[in-house]
Amino acid sequence: MVRFLQTNFLIVLILNSGYFFNYLFQLIIARSLPAADYGIFNALNSFHLLVLAPLGVMPLIITRYTVRLGTNQFDQVKMLMWKFFQGILLLGIALLIIGLLTLSWLKSYLHITSNSPILITIITAVVGLSLPIFSATLQGLHRIIAFSWVNTGSIIIRVIPKS
């Protein structure tokens, strides 16, 4: 019972530190950007989340199938990950092409003067498509502490260059 409580406490500590670093990231960005640029940042961040929202069900699917396969069928878990990576690669290429084709429309719609922030957002979205595959697989394999570190680590990485 003590081991169970220690593990749960560690997971809560890791995940809550992720929320702390997410809040810290927002504070750093708000303090370092002028008001107009902060508005652009939030518009692009919201656009990024809106585009990727339909993929929110993907971690649930991966976790479910990983749990069904279990840790004793690790080769099949690797194959499942590979199949999802192939699909994500195709989706990422399509997203990149659509983003590049709609770049001028996005620029005028969001009232942004430069293409760079939009390109960075599109590339970040394409690269970030693979993170749910890793975290969902870890969760499905019951590697909860590693799962917590992956999620918190991705937030800490955003804060480190800004500090």
Question: Closest Cα to residue 127, out of 93, 78, 82?
Answer: 93
Q: Please give the pLDDT value at position 154.
A: 78
Residues 159 and 44: their CA atoms lie apart, in Å, by 18
Q: Please give the pLDDT value at position 5.
A: 80
Per residue in 2-40, pLDDT (tens digit) is 787 888 888 888 878 888 888 888 888 888 989 888 888
Residues 51 and 31: their CA atoms lie apart, in Å, by 27
- Its pTM stands at 0.72
Mean pLDDT of all residues in 51-64 = 85
Q: Is the pLDDT of residue 51 over 70?
A: yes
Per residue in 71-90, pLDDT (tens digit) is 778 888 889 889 999 999 99
Q: Please give the pLDDT value at position 162.
A: 56
Residues 13 and 149: their CA atoms lie apart, in Å, by 10
Mean pLDDT of all residues in 125-154 = 83
3-state SS record for the chain: CHHHHHHHHHHHHHHHHHHHHHHHHHHHHHHHCCHHHHHHHHHHHHHHHHHHHHHHHHHHHHHHHHHHHCHHHHHHHHHHHHHHHHHHHHHHHHHHHHHHHCHHHHHHHCCCCCCHHHHHHHHHHHHHHHHHHHHHHHHHCCCHHHHHHHHHHHHHHHHHHHC
Residues 66 and 71: their CA atoms lie apart, in Å, by 8
Q: Please give the pLDDT value at position 94.
A: 93
Q: Is the pLDDT of residue 70 over 80?
A: no
Per residue in 99-139, pLDDT (tens digit) is 899 999 988 988 888 888 889 888 888 888 888 888 888 88
Tally Cβ neighbours within 10 Å of residue 49.
Answer: 11
